[in-house]
Amino acid sequence: MKLYFGLKVWKRVRLPIFMLAFISQLQAQTNHYWSQQFGARSSLMAGAVVAGGKDNSVMYYNPALLVNITHPSISVTANAYKYDIITIKNGAGDGIDLNSERLSLFPQLISGMRSFKDHSKWRWGYSLMTRFQANIKTSIRKEFSGDVLVNRAGLDEYIGEFRYEASLNELWGGLTLAHKVSDKFSVGLTQYIAYRTQGHERANNRTTLPIIDPVPPSTTPGYRILKADDNELLTFTNFKAIWKLGFAFDFKRLKLGLTITSPSVNITGSANVQREILRDNLNLFLPGNAYRSLVGTGQQNVKSVEHKTPLSIGVGVEYHFPKTIISFVGEYFAPISNYFVIKPEPAAFIRPTTLTSDLSGLPNTFNFLAVSSLSREIFNFGFGLEQHLTSKIILNAGFRTDFDSYERSQSRANRENIVLGATYWDLYHVSAGFTLKQDKSEVTFGINYAFSSNNRKAEQQTNFSNPTDAQFLLGTINRTAFPVINSINVIVGFTQYLNLMRKKDIPANQKD
């Protein structure tokens, strides 16, 4: 994707120098709010447990439901294996795909719940979960002989290299308090502290070596090297606070749930960001100073860091049949206007520095190193099914959407800074598995499969097809790239009940 530095005063001569510094679209699932689910049963039911969750995962899905948990317990749920296959068709040029295959292992949810002594209408719990997790790694190299120099006939040696690696991990630690107001109504609140680590490294380097006719008295042909490089390295950490308020309504067979998740409140953070562009000898066969040789480079350790999580409102409906439960969940996520995740200090970045007096309107390092983000509003939904096959074996299944929240309507041509997490694919999840119940424990095993829709095309990451020096050793960046995403999660959950509650502590609607 092209990054125009927006140097409006550079006019026709100055603008082309930076026209092809790209930003990444391959930021894994950083704009997918429902890429992760929590708790084995809840995950297999697509998160459709906002109205009637039965385990410790309700501390996330709907804190009000914690009062209905009858057994103090410790739960550990893991996506035992997560295997992601990402292919960006035409991502590096016409017929040149970008591929990434990654295997991950990480804890999904660790939680516990207790009741207050002599206060049967109150419950409290704690949870630690991997709220967001994603990684991607891809690279490609293209070599050939072709006519790269537009004002010079003949074959030129060409080498194009593209590398990209990104990672994201966001942990949420929470404390939950829930109160049963009546037999039909309860309320709960979870306070989360989130810790996010995210980064990416990106290199897009192009080289061509034209054979130069010998200059008398020499009779040996010479070589000149033409280069255009665009490199980024970014890492940051951020702490933020989030609150989730839940309400639950119990009408026997029909259950309803409502949740409100606050926008995040920034606590602190830090970042390291580096960026470099290089243009060398591109004006060898092109007129004027439009393609002059220079280096744009900058690096800063930044303390002004903030990553935002939006306001969201969730609703859930659940209906019980004698041996079957069907459920629905929907969640609205509010938009986030464009903002700076990383705010560096202004400074010069052009080398040699003698060029700066000639380039009026040059952006400073704030624009060169600043990292921004924005999100559009979305509505995700899912359906869940629970079928009791026997007294000890339960089938769970679900379907959910996972729409991408990146705001595509924002004009990329006028952006000067790095844009964080510009993905462009929607995901759909299907899941199924079984729970085996024992007297004091239960084990759950299942699989979640996610796939992308292929009806949305986007600009290529780079284009090593038909490159020219007039386009900074690249071909024309076209809107012909599209993703093919496949992901398989193996979900394993274990719950150990610490002890049975006293019968008087069990809510009336939960007693046998």
> Does the pLDDT value for residue 453 go beyond 50?
yes
- Across the range 461-477, mean pLDDT stands at 90
- What are the tens digits of pLDDT across the range 420-432? 765 678 899 999 9
In the chain, the number of structural domains is: 1
Are 35 and 46 in contact, with CB atoms under 8 Å apart? no
Reported confidence tier of residue 288, pLDDT bands at 50, 70, 90: low
Q: What is the mean pLDDT of the chain?
A: 83
Domain limits at 456? 2-510
Residue 434: the pLDDT is: 95
What number of helices (H) and strands (E) belong to the chain? 4, 23
**Which residue type does 500 have?**
L
What pLDDT, in 10s, does the model give residues 15-46? 344 444 443 444 445 688 998 888 889 999 99
294 pLDDT more than 90: no
Across 10-19, 439-448, 500-509, least confident range: 10-19
Greater model confidence, 153 or 146: 146
Determine which of 77-81, 294-298, 319-323, 476-480 has the lowest per-residue pLDDT on average: 77-81
- pLDDT at 134 (0 to 100): 84
pLDDT at 260 over 70: yes
**3-class secondary structure for 110-169?**
EEEEEEECCEEEEEEEEEEEEEEEEEEEEEEEEEEEECCCCCCCCCEEEEEEEEEEEEEE
What's at 202, amino acid-wise?
R
Check whether the bond before 217 is cis (ω within 30° of 0).
yes
Q: What is the pLDDT of residues 324-336, one digit of tens each?
A: 999 999 999 999 9
Instruction: Give pLDDT, residue 10.
Output: 32
On the question of pLDDT at 367 being above 80, the answer is no
**What CATH number has the domain bearing residue 45?**
2.40.160.60
